A and B are shown apart, each in its own frame.
Chain A
Amino acid sequence: DTGVSQDPRHKITKRGQNVTFRCDPISEHNRLYWYRQTLGQGPEFLTYFQNEAQLEKSRLLSDRFSAERPKGSFSTLEIQRTEQGDSAMYLCASSLGGGVLTEAFFGQGTRLTVV
């Protein structure tokens, strides 16, 4: 296993278009997290899954954002009707279990640019 992988690494889209990102976690990890990181900021939590269940969503996740993890393995994050303010790095992380001692492994991120 090569770790958490995210696809694509970079995405440029026109304002108003829909985009979808994919995250493949480490295979035995049951928890999967999505974070957003804008320039000069730390990562901000968006949502997380335990297996296929979406357990928590941040208020940052507007109704244009939707995330799924249909089989408890890979996850997708879709942004509809993209806005320039959506330009950011979208980070995925996974962990085995969910206690605070559980190390979350991060992917390299998908950089979204909305023009």
Chain B
Amino acid sequence: GEDVEQSLFLSVREGDSSVINCTYTDSSSTYLYWYKQEPGAGLQLLTYIFSNMDMKQDQRLTVLLNKKDKHLSLRIADTQTGDSAIYFCAEASLNSGNTPLVFGKGTRLSVIA
């Protein structure tokens, strides 16, 4: 079955880069997503990457995909205190039709001022 794994916690100093890692098992995963959840808020889509890409950059965010190892990472440059949140990796597969997103357990990012 589908499974998405993430490390649970990450702590970084303000101004440093954060790297959040994710592994997935479904080899038919077509799209991989990063969502952000702040306390008391819903999930916010940050970025996504198609499986035929290996990198995508969007302002301070860089997504790297190693399809061979089924490894996805999210790098946040110049991390700010406002980046403190839980970050979820999620995957979706076109082969499964419109199967809704499968989420990891989330990585709690703490930014120390």
A residues adjacent to B (C-beta < 8 A): 4, 33, 35, 40-45, 48, 55-56, 91, 93, 98-101, 103-109
> Known contacts A42-B103, A45-B101, A56-B100; is A101 also within 8 Å of B40 by CB?
no
Taking CB as reference atom, which chain B residue is nearest A6?
A: B42
Q: Say whether A108 contacts B41, CB under 8 Å.
A: yes
CB contacts (< 8 Å) of A101 on chain B: these are 31, 48
**B45–A103 touching, CB < 8 Å:** yes
Partner of A108, one of B4, B42, B104: B42
Q: Please provide the 8 A-B residue pairs with the shortest distance between their CB atoms, ordered closest to farther.
A: A42-B103, A106-B42, A106-B43, A100-B92, A45-B100, A100-B31, A98-B98, A108-B42
Whether the Cβ atoms of A42 and B104 lie closer than 8 Å is yes
Determine the chain B residues whose CB is within 8 A of the CB of A41 once the complex forms: 105-106
- By secondary structure, the A interface counts as loop
Q: Considering the chains assembled together, what is the distance between the CA atoms of A32 and B102 in angstroms? A: 16
Chain B interface residues toward A at CB < 8 A: 4, 8, 30-31, 40-45, 48, 88, 90, 92-94, 98, 100-106
- Asked if residues B42 and A109 are in contact (CB atoms below 8 Å), the reply is yes
Which of A4, A44, A45, A99 contacts B42 (CB under 8 A)? A4
Find out whether the CB atom of A108 lies under 8 angstroms from the CB atom of B88.
no
Given contacts A42-B88, A42-B105, A109-B42, 20 further A-B contacts (CB under 8 A): A33-B100, A40-B105, A42-B90, A42-B103, A43-B88, A43-B101, A45-B100, A45-B101, A45-B102, A55-B98, A56-B98, A93-B42, A98-B98, A99-B98, A100-B98, A101-B48, A104-B101, A106-B42, A106-B44, A107-B42
Chain B residue at smallest Cβ distance from A34: B100
Cα-based distance from A48 to B97 in the complex (angstroms): 13
Q: Please name all residues of chain A whose beta carbon is closer than 8 Å to the beta carbon of B100 when the two chains form the complex.
A: 33, 35, 45, 48, 56
- Chain B residues near A103: list those with CB within 8 A: 45
CA–CA, A35 and B103, complex, Å: 11
Closest CB of chain A to B82's CB: distance in Å? 18
- The CA-CA distance from A91 to B88 in the complex, in Å, is 14
- Residues on A with C-beta less than 8 A from B94 are 100
CA distance in complex: A93, B4 (Å): 20
